[in-house]
Every structure is written in C-alpha cells, then in structure tokens.
A and B are shown apart, each in its own frame.
Chain A
Amino acid sequence: MTNRLDLPEATWRRISPKYLVAEFLGLLVTAIVLAAATLPLHLAGWGLAWWATAAVVGAVLIFAIFTPRRLRAIGYQLRDDDLVFRRGILFQRFVAVPYGRMQIVDINRGPLSRALGLSELKFVTAAATSGVTIPGLPAADAEELRDRLVELAESRRAGL
C-alpha cells in the first residue's frame, strides 16, 4: 500500500533528457549569483563568512542532486478528451484540463533552451490556477503538440 499519488493505468510521456543540461546550467548560475551575494560578508571580515558561502552552495548542490529525479517525474498524456500533466516528487501535483477549456497555447524558448533545441509549452485556461507548463520539449515535438492541442480544442470548443 503506497501513500504516493499515482494514477492507475497511465502511460506518461516524458520530457527530453537534454533538459537536464539546461537545468544544471541554470543551477550553476544560481549558485554563482548566491555565492556572489555573500561577498559583502567576506568584505566585512565576518568570521563565519566562509560558512555562509558553503551553506548557500551546498543548498544548491542538494537541489541539483534531486534534479534528475525531479525531471523524470514530469510527464503528460493526451487522453481522449483532456490533457493530464504531472510533476513533482516531494510535492506531487496532477492536473487534468479538458481540451475545450484551452484559451491560449504558448511556446517559450530561452537562449539556453534554444541552444539545446528545446521549448517550453504553456497551456492557458480561463482559470489562473490551472498552471500547466511543460518544460523541456524538443522544439519540433512542442510545435506538433501545440498544433494538435489547437486542433483538439477547436473540435471541442466550449464557452467559458
């Protein structure tokens, strides 16, 4: 008997493993910025300044260790009438959005993602809390998925 959340008979589509590189680079930048933020402590000659820097970098490192597992937990599936999205290991979240509820599909690409050929797909409904954002999709897949979602939404269009 498991306490974890899981949907019975669900086959999840995963995001691209290349997205891990983007995440790691992002974490590296975060670590550098946070370490730089502790610089004033060093300049002030505070005795525990090195400990502060180490703590900050350590926190980012711990986060980095869990990143591969966290990215593996991201998944989505296109069911007959709705899109189901899952994410999180410590804080799990499952969302089901009927296709007809779609208002907007966004595709976002940052400089890093673009270098890796990845896109982020955002599915927007009239509810701000739906929050379906699928990161790390290969660019071609993302566009194909977008077109598919628009097509599905068109055939099942509903009001607000």
Chain B
Amino acid sequence: MTDDRQYELPAHEETPGASAAGEPVTERSESVVSGAPVTALAAGLSDGEWHRLHPASPLLKGGIALLAIIGVVVANMRDQLVEMFVPGAGYDDGNPIGLIVENGLIMWALLAVLVTLLALVAGFYVSWRMHTFRVTEEVVEVRSGVLFRTNRRARLDRIQGINIVRPIFARLFGAARLEVNQAGQDANVKLDYVGSSAADDLRREILRLASGTRTASAPGGSHVPLDQNIVDRRVNELLAPELDPDAAEPESVVKLSVGRLIGSIALSSATFVIIGGIVVAVVLSFFRGDALFLLFAFIPAAIAVMGYDVQKFTKSLRYSIAGTPDGVRVGFGLLSTSNETLPPGRIHSVKVSQPLLWRPFGWWEIKVNRASHSSTNGAAGQQNTTILPVGNLTDVKRVLGLVLPDSADETAAVFAERGLVARGEPDDGFTCSPRRAAVLRWFSWRRNGFAISPGAVLLRKGAIWRELVIVPHPRLQSVSISQGPLLRMLRLVSVHVHTVAGPISAQLGAVDRDAAIAFFDTVAQAAVRASGADTSHRWRSSEMAAVSKPAVEVEPTVEDPQHAPPGPPL
C-alpha cells in the first residue's frame, strides 16, 4: 500500500504576510533538502523543486498487465490448489505447473519466479525514482526514463487546459492522473500518477502561477479531516460529489439532468434509423413471409447502437460545467471521473447547434474549438470538444457566459438568443442574406447572417438544423472572403473566419457582396485591435495592483479595454 502519511500534510502552509507584501508565495515542505527530489504528495509540489510521482504509479500504470499475469498463473495452478485442500481430487497433468511439480522442479520454478519478481520490482522502483517533475514560476518540467532520458518543459503561459482523470482503479489508491495540455499534437505534459488531493492543489497552483497574479490562492476546498483512518478517507473520497461544492459559485454551475440525457440519446438519428428499419422489415414481412430475414439483418445493428448509447449514458452521468476563478471546469463520470479546467481565452470558437429531433424539446449542444488535443476523451466518449452534450436555452446561455466571459453581459445574451431561435427579422442586429440568396438557401436565407458584437463574430445559419457559431475577436487567426462563379452571378460572397482546427468551421455562405466586403474590413480591424489588447495568456496579470484582494473573489479578466461594453452592439 502507499505511504499515506504524506497525504496528511496540510495542502498549503501559507504565510499571509508574504502575500500581502506582493511576494510570490513559495511553499517549501520541510523535507526539501537542497534540490533533492522529494516525494511530498500534498504539500508544496509547486515550489520549484524536483518531486517524484505517487509511489503506486508503476502499479497503476502496469496494474492491468500484472493482474492478467497473476490471473494466468492462478488459472494454471487451479488443480494444485484443489489438490492441496482436497487430496485425491482430479489431477490433470496437462498444464505447465503440473509438469513442474511432477518433475521435482519446484525449487527452480520458485527461484525463477522470485528473480523475475525482484527484477520487476527493481525496474519499477528505478523508473519511479528517475521520473521527477517540477513546477517553477515559468515552466512545468518532467524528467523520465532510465536508459533513454526524456526531458519536457512546458511554458505556463501557453497552457491550454489542465485535465485530472481518476480511473476507478486509481481512485481506490487515492491517486489521479494530471495532464497539462499545450497547443499542438502530442504536446501534453502528463503526470501519472499523483496523489488525488495533491492533483487538485497542483492544478490550482499551476494555474495561479500561469495566470500572472501575485496573490496567493485560497487553500483548497475539501480537505479530508486528518483524524480518519485510510479506509474511511478512501470511502469518503469515493462517495464525494464529483464537483466540490466549494470550487465554484453555485449559480454558475450547469448540470445535466438524467431524464434529458436519456432523451437526448434516444432521440439521436441512429436510433431512428434502426427503429425505422425494424418497422419497415416487420411491415414487409407481414405481406411477404420471405422478407423476415430483413429483420435479422437489423438486429446486430440495433445491438451495436444500444451498446453505444448505454456507454454514452454512463459516461455522461454526473456531468457538470462550472465557472471557477481560473476558468471553466468541465467534469463528469460515475466510477472513473475526469475533470478539466480551461483557463480564460483558451476557447477559440463555439458552436451551438440543434439536431432536428431535439427541436420540439428545445435542446441544444455546444461544441468548442481548442488548440490542444487531450489524450482522454470527453463525456460520452466523444471528443472533449463537446462541452455541453445537451441543454435547454437557459443552460446554453449560462455556458456561453462561462466560455466567453467577454460576452457575458446583457446585450451579448440577447444576441446569442437571437442567433439561436430567431427566425430572422430584418432588423434584429444580424446582417442577413438578401432575398436573391433564396436560390441557394431555400429555407434559411432569412436567418443566414452574421453579426459583429464588441467581443466576437457571430455567424447564424440554418432554418431546419439551426446553429450559431461564435468566434471571439482575440482568438481570430485570419479572415477571408471568397466567391465562385455561381455566387458571382447572384452578387453573393462566402465569408470565412479562421481559427485553430477543430469540429467547427466558421463559414457563412451567400452573403451580399457589399456587406461581405464591409465584414472583411471590420473583422480584420477588430482582430488586430483585440489581439493587441489581449492579455489572456496571463489572464489575471491585471490583478497585480490588487494584491490584497483574495483571488477567489476576482472574476477572470480577459476583458478587452477597447471592447468594454459600449452600449448595445450594432
């Protein structure tokens, strides 16, 4: 079992005097001796010194394989075990263990097992000792490997998100996997595994250092009382709510209700195709007996869809989105839990869309484009770009306020609502396609349009499959307009706002030519202005002046001074 005494250290030994003086808080556990790695699990992991991972890491990483090997050995020893307790019971000499016993090789076999075991333990121990990490004011750095050494540094101001995953097996040990996501392919820094509560502290500290604020963070939320024994603490940790109630303001939390989750999964197109197929097959077989085979053709597909749906359901349980001082926290999971914090300004575009079948219920789905690629999937086994699997209009507005703090004000909310549900009146703030675009956009030409709010570009599309794409100005990479021969005949243009790659393509077709040229100019200027004024890589650096304020009360400030709400947009 792991050395649990180390968890009992308080998470933060804060010196209030230091933070009041504007000094960065450097916490040093007493066991730190001149740069030597320490295995402190809860205290002062972000003190700039080298630290080791959770002692159970090798077991957790290779745990499944080890269990499998033990399983094979035990299965082969079954007969010996039976013989041991019930002499004279059936003795089958066909298995390797039986052969060893018969030939008097038992000593050699034991020796071989012992040597292998020792070698494994030694190997794991050495690799664990060589795997160290540290968090400084500027970087997160990991050193690992015994023969082939690897060293990876990640700059704190380029962090795109921090993910904490707790697989069920690791949760039993009180361990968690922490992943620092950076932009680009295979650019993540993984710490698997660290102590469960240490992971939360570490994330808060990394985000505090990255945010550029000099104020000390408040001590972490739920710290398990120290007077409990290991078993009680594990049980408490397992039964604790997925989202710590202290971590976020209750009014910012969006949860998924189970009924709506089941409804949204049942109302997917795949389900309808299967049901439709079965109905057709039944009706056909009613008239012609030999069409019954069609029914059997659909059974495997139906089972596959059902299995997928059940998996989607279990993985979305306890889903919550909440606003924390260091960004949006997305968490989910019943047995294996996972939660990720996205600092402000890390969401490059947002798409709110509505499948046709969800429309009677007023449900929507929100996806985002982000620069990093996490190795763990999001809820429902989907890409973790789906930030709200299903929600009603109230949820959507709240989540939009969380992921785009710039557009959290009243006017932006009105805009978003018009972008979502409006049928498209001539003067609702959106510049829509002209009537002649009806040739290309049969039903949606009234709705098909764009709006430029002080903080973002909004693209509204579709009358049947409604969607709204929002790209915040400071995240915009470039803007283009293009026109092919068909559009030219109609005096129309297609506009495209470029962001990092992801599930969203911010493109809008069939816009009036002059409107598109004006759009091109306005957006190009807004992008330049916003990217110049953007401070979200150090999102709380503006708090430097207000050091005495506790950090928890301060809202994330990615507000662009030039875009501070100047009355209603447009």
Compute the total of residue contacts between A and B using a CB distance below 8 Å. 114
Digitize B445-476: 1 where CB-to-A-CB distance is under 8 Å, 0 elsewhere: 00000000000000000000000000000110
Q: Does B534 count as interface, using CB distance less than 8 angstroms?
A: yes
Are A156 and B484 in contact, CB atoms less than 8 angstroms apart?
A: no
- Cα A61 to Cα B18 with chains together (Å): 77
Given contacts A4-B488, A95-B478, contact A159 B513 (CB under 8 A): no
Interface residues of A in 113-160 (CB under 8 A from B): 125-132, 156, 158-160
The smallest C-beta distance from B56 to any residue of chain A, in angstroms, reads 36
Q: Does B26 count as interface, using CB distance less than 8 angstroms?
A: no
Q: Does B485 count as interface, using CB distance less than 8 angstroms?
A: yes
From B480, B484, B485, B532, residue with most partner A Cβ within 10 Å? B480
Digitize A86-123: 1 where CB-to-B-CB distance is under 8 Å, 0 elsewhere: 00101111111110110000000000000000000000
Q: Does B177 count as interface, using CB distance less than 8 angstroms?
A: no
- Cα A84 to Cα B345 with chains together (Å): 26
- Cα A129 to Cα B505 with chains together (Å): 9
Interface residues of B in 487-532 (CB under 8 A from A): 488-491, 493, 496, 498-501, 505, 513, 516-517, 520-521, 523-525, 527-528, 531-532
Digitize A21-38: 1 where CB-to-B-CB distance is under 8 Å, 0 elsewhere: 000000000000000000
> What are 25 A-B residue pairs whose CB atoms fall within 8 Å in the complex?
A3-B489, A5-B516, A7-B520, A81-B525, A81-B532, A82-B524, A88-B482, A90-B485, A91-B483, A91-B484, A91-B485, A92-B482, A93-B481, A98-B527, A100-B531, A125-B477, A127-B478, A127-B498, A127-B499, A127-B500, A129-B498, A130-B477, A130-B498, A156-B532, A160-B348
- Cα A23 to Cα B531 with chains together (Å): 38
Are A98 and B528 in contact, CB atoms less than 8 angstroms apart?
A: yes
Are B531 and A101 in contact, CB atoms less than 8 angstroms apart?
A: yes
Residues on the A chain within 8 Å of B525, using CB: 81
Q: Does B183 count as interface, using CB distance less than 8 angstroms?
A: yes
Q: Does A8 count as interface, using CB distance less than 8 angstroms?
A: yes
Residues on the B chain within 8 Å of A101, using CB: 477-478, 527, 531
Residues on the B chain within 8 Å of A81, using CB: 525, 528, 532
Residues on the A chain within 8 Å of B521, using CB: 7
- Cα A3 to Cα B371 with chains together (Å): 37
Q: Across chains A and B, which 5 residue pairs bring their CB atoms closest together, nearest first?
A: A127-B477, A127-B498, A159-B537, A96-B524, A97-B478
- Cα A5 to Cα B485 with chains together (Å): 11
The smallest C-beta distance from A128 to any residue of chain B, in angstroms, reads 5
Q: Which residue of B lies closest to A4 (CB)?
A: B488
Q: Does B417 count as interface, using CB distance less than 8 angstroms?
A: no
Q: Which residue of A lies closest to B518 (CB)?
A: A8
Residues on the B chain within 8 Å of A126, using CB: 183, 371, 477, 499-500
Digitize A65-90: 1 where CB-to-B-CB distance is under 8 Å, 0 elsewhere: 00000000000000001101000101
From A7, A91, A96, A132, residue with most partner B Cβ within 10 Å? A96
Residues on the A chain within 8 Å of B524, using CB: 82, 84, 96, 98
Q: Does B536 count as interface, using CB distance less than 8 angstroms?
A: yes
From A4, A8, A128, A129, residue with most partner B Cβ within 10 Å? A129
Given contacts A94-B520, A126-B371, A160-B371, contact A82 B482 (CB under 8 A): no
Are B500 and A94 in contact, CB atoms less than 8 angstroms apart?
A: no
- Cα A25 to Cα B479 with chains together (Å): 33
The smallest C-beta distance from A143 to any residue of chain B, in angstroms, reads 23
- Cα A129 to Cα B532 with chains together (Å): 22
Given contacts A81-B528, A101-B531, contact A128 B183 (CB under 8 A): no
Taking a contact as CB atoms closer than 8 A, the residue among B489, B500, B517 that contacts A160 in the complex is: B500
Given contacts A97-B478, A101-B477, contact A90 B484 (CB under 8 A): yes
Are B481 and A160 in contact, CB atoms less than 8 angstroms apart?
A: no
Are B345 and A94 in contact, CB atoms less than 8 angstroms apart?
A: no
Residues on the B chain within 8 Å of A129, using CB: 480, 496, 498, 501, 505
- Cα A96 to Cα B517 with chains together (Å): 12
Taking a contact as CB atoms closer than 8 A, the residue among A5, A128, A131, A160 that contacts B493 in the complex is: A5
Q: Does B157 count as interface, using CB distance less than 8 angstroms?
A: yes
Are B183 and A91 in contact, CB atoms less than 8 angstroms apart?
A: no
Q: Which residue of B lies closest to A79 (CB)?
A: B524
The smallest C-beta distance from B202 to any residue of chain A, in angstroms, reads 23
Are B479 and A95 in contact, CB atoms less than 8 angstroms apart?
A: yes
Q: Does B158 count as interface, using CB distance less than 8 angstroms?
A: yes
- Cα A120 to Cα B55 with chains together (Å): 54
Q: Which residue of B lies closest to A83 (CB)?
A: B478
- Cα A127 to Cα B528 with chains together (Å): 16
Other 6 A-B pairs with CB < 8 A, given A4-B483, A96-B523: A3-B488, A4-B488, A90-B485, A91-B482, A92-B482, A127-B477
Residues on the A chain within 8 Å of B537, using CB: 159-160
Are A98 and B478 in contact, CB atoms less than 8 angstroms apart?
A: yes
- Cα A96 to Cα B536 with chains together (Å): 23
Residues on the A chain within 8 Å of B478, using CB: 95-98, 101, 125, 127, 130, 132
Q: Which residue of A lies closest to B493 (CB)?
A: A5
From A5, A7, A131, A156, residue with most partner B Cβ within 10 Å? A5
The smallest C-beta distance from B235 to any residue of chain A, in angstroms, reads 43
The smallest C-beta distance from A141 to any residue of chain B, in angstroms, reads 22
Residues on the A chain within 8 Å of B490, using CB: 3
Residues on the B chain within 8 Å of A4, using CB: 483, 488
Are A160 and B183 in contact, CB atoms less than 8 angstroms apart?
A: yes
Residues on the A chain within 8 Å of B527, using CB: 82, 96, 98, 101
- Cα A131 to Cα B480 with chains together (Å): 10
- Cα A148 to Cα B479 with chains together (Å): 21
From A82, A101, A132, A159, residue with most partner B Cβ within 10 Å? A159
Interface residues of B in 73-101 (CB under 8 A from A): none
Residues on the B chain within 8 Å of A84, using CB: 524
Q: Which residue of B lies closest to A101 (CB)?
A: B477
- Cα A94 to Cα B517 with chains together (Å): 10
Are A97 and B520 in contact, CB atoms less than 8 angstroms apart?
A: no
- Cα A8 to Cα B485 with chains together (Å): 21
Given contacts A5-B493, A7-B520, A98-B531, contact A159 B536 (CB under 8 A): yes
Are A100 and B532 in contact, CB atoms less than 8 angstroms apart?
A: yes
- Cα A129 to Cα B474 with chains together (Å): 17
